[in-house]
Structure 1
Amino acid sequence: MPPIHPDSLGGPSRVLRWMAGMGLMTVSYLRDRHLIVRSEEPGDDADLPATVPADLSDDRVQHQEHGRGPLFHRRFTVLVDGATTDATGLMTLVRGDLEKLLPKEVAAVTPHGDGTPPKPGDEFVVRMPGPWDGPVRVISSDDTHLRLTTLDGHLEAGQIEFRADDEAEGLRFTIETWARPASPMLDLLFTHLRVAKEMQLFMWVRACLAAAKLAGGRPHGHVYAHTRRVRASEGRERA
């Protein structure tokens, strides 16, 4: 899969897509917010992401230290009742086409997944309403997880991981992020005005609900969203 440059993905219809998608997101968020149990607390160096492998790091990678403001370590998780597949089966579907997780009014993935699990070094772009398109690179992938790093042009600087686990209580799906806003403007929108932060929360909560459906089951209770906020002065990626 060749590298993708984010500047090649625009078009005259993009503003209309932003406006329509953001309106639908707002309606859906107000409707579904009762499904979320959220918590937030201070973080520390233990919340920093692992180092991007040297052979997958170049000047297009937006490491967390390239961002602005605090680092947000966020975990979105759902336990699935009645799943008809295990962790490997669920992640086979997710890794083969990440778009299966994304709210239809929010995002598309370019290039579209063809069912083939991605490998380290592959790149794609999550296209969203607003100026939020997110180019990413795969840095780790196996039967039960997929980890990505952000690239130049992404609204965040850091990493994101999708994973599934077979636990005693059942199948659990998790989305975990380690990232800082990529610019001073995004720091304002994410950290202070909280608009981008709520958009992100809504998207990943909806992705967790979609994962439960993909697994053939239903959420056991709520989707849990936990955030640990690390001061901007804290350390760098962990070795």
Structure 2
Amino acid sequence: MNRRTRALLISTASLTAGAALATWAVRRWGYPVRAVERDVPYVGPPPADDDVPGDRDLQPEEEGVGPRFHRRYEVDVEHTTKSPEELIACIGASIQDYVPDELAVFEKSTGEEGFLSVGDEYDITIRSPWDGPVRVVEVTPTRFTLATLEGHMEAGQIRFAAAPHPVVTDALRFSIESWARSRDGAVDFVYDELGLAKKAQQAMWTFFCERVAEDCGGRKMEEVRVLTEREADPDDG
């Protein structure tokens, strides 16, 4: 089924809601960014444990449709009052503190509140036609990884990480990095062809980076950097 045919199957309500979400999110949290977008041969994510048990099935990339996307949101903060380990611990204890409540709500459905462990699950309620359940599949002192569960609007994983800045002392680098594709044709159309869900997603994770900079008590060294790599169509070569 081609994209034009799939588009005809998308409900007017879903398109309207997706457009409204993107427009509102960008206006509300459209922080200036240094953005780069390019089509590239796709390289998948680092290995993650897909054997972590849970009540719901994972929704891996291979179950999605459309092109794969690698996206990275990155912010450098100098004169930080938190170490990378302290920052990741704070995010793991209350990830909702870093997300705009009006756009998305993280509710832990499995696991202990105030602490992040492998196997924990969250139900993410998004102000759109699609929600996003996830499972924690990796936790280290400086990063953690969430994998999408059945019913999420995307199929893939997302990693949150902090590290000392590679050049500047008394500074850290925080990143959010995702490897995913759309769950189905409807999401693919709104995300890739129309670009609406992609804009809303960028607004949310840019807000997250801005909130991290505030929480670290320091100063952003420059605007949040956003890299979007879309899987190149082999037929275009």
Farther-moved stretch of structure 1 (223-232 vs 198-207): 223-232
The residue that corresponds to 2:212 in the other structure is 211
- Are the aligned partners of 1:22 and 1:130 in contact in 2 as well (CA < 8 Å)? no
Identity value in percent: 33
Whether the aligned pair in 1 keeps the contact of 2:67 and 2:181 (CA below 8 Å) is yes
How far off its partner does 1:55 sit? 2.2
Amino acid of the structure 2 residue aligned with 1:37: R
**Is 1:202 the counterpart of 2:207 in the alignment?**
no
Q: 1:172 and 1:25 mapped to 2: Cα distance?
A: 27
Structure 2 unaligned blocks of 5 or more: 1-12
- Equivalent residues, number: 215
Question: Unaligned regions of 5+ residues in structure 1, if any?
Answer: 1-14, 234-239
Over residues 20-54 of structure 1, what are the superposed CA-to-partner deviations in whole Å (9 max), with x where a residue is unaligned? Answer: x9868734523653511111112224x21234424
For the 8 Å contact 2:145–2:158, the answer to whether it is kept is: yes
The answer as to 2:52 corresponding to 1:56 is yes
The answer to whether the 8 Å contact 2:72/2:176 transfers is yes
Q: TM-score, normalised by structure 2?
A: 0.82
Q: Deviations over 1:82-119 (max 9, x none)?
A: 31111111111001111111012111111288321x21
Aligned to 1:193: 194
Match of 1:96 among 80, 90, 93: 93
Q: 1:154 to 1:32 in 2, by over 3 A?
A: closer
2:137 is matched by which residue type in structure 1? I
Alpha carbons of structure 1 residues 109 and 232: separation in structure 2 relative to 1, 3 Å: farther
TM-score with structure 1 setting the length: 0.81
Q: What is the aligned partner in structure 1 of residue 123 from structure 2?
A: 125
Q: Report the 3-state secondary structure (helix = DSSP H, G, I; strand = E; otherwise coil) of the residue aligned with 1:188.
A: helix
Distance in 2 (CA, whole Å) between partners of 1:60 and 1:134 is: 13
CA RMSD of aligned residues (A): 2.7
> Which range is displaced more, 65-74 or 107-116?
107-116
Give the C-alpha shift of residue 221 in structure 1.
1.8
The residue that corresponds to 2:107 in the other structure is 110
Match of 1:5 in 2: none
